[in-house]
């Protein structure tokens, strides 16, 4: 049975339950417009969804994932992928700095905690 026939039958039968009253009073006609509060709620939900979508796109595609060449660091985890934190506390391209005793031209060539001294990576004194 369609909803309009059900409403009509309920009204004819004299049934005035809360449910039937709700059905007949809460329906909007096709010509009825949304209230200002309803429009505002729809507007705010849409703005929120747009902002959330923008943040997700930024985070996935543009968010920086660690420091890159020449930026400050205090541990390897501070640097982006394929970078390491050198003895000069800056990120450098590569997977790791040189070990103690290895030849170097600057402290950035050496592992974190080592400095380039006299062309060799050595512990800072």
Our count of domains for the chain comes to: 2
Separation CA 55–CA 71 (nearest Å) = 25
Look at residue 6 and tell me if it is in a domain. no
Q: Whole-number mean pLDDT of the chain?
A: 81
Tens-digit pLDDT profile for residues 44-84: 999 999 999 999 999 888 877 888 889 999 998 899 888 88
Separation CA 14–CA 111 (nearest Å) = 88
Two tokens, residue 44: 């705010």
Together in a domain, 92 and 55: no
Look at residue 29 and tell me if it is in a domain. no
Look at residue 101 and tell me if it is in a domain. yes
Look at residue 110 and tell me if it is in a domain. yes
Regarding pTM above 0.75, the answer is no
Distance of CA 44 to the CA centre of its chain: 20
Domain range for 99 is 76-123
Q: Is the pLDDT of residue 87 over 80?
A: yes
């Amino acid at each position: 049975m369609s909803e309009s026939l059900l409403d009509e039958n309920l009204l004819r039968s004299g049934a005035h339950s809360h449910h039937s009253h709700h059905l007949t009073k809460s329906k909007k006609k096709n010509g009825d417009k949304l209230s200002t509060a309803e429009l505002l709620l729809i507007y705010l939900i849409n703005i929120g969804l747009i902002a959330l979508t923008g943040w997700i796109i930024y985070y996935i595609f543009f968010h920086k994932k660690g420091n890159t060449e020449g930026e400050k660091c205090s541990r390897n985890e501070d640097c982006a992928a394929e970078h390491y934190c050198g003895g000069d506390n800056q990120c450098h391209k590569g997977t790791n700095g040189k070990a103690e005793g290895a030849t170097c031209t600057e402290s950035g060539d050496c592992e974190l905690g080592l400095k380039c001294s006299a062309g060799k990576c050595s512990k800072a004194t």
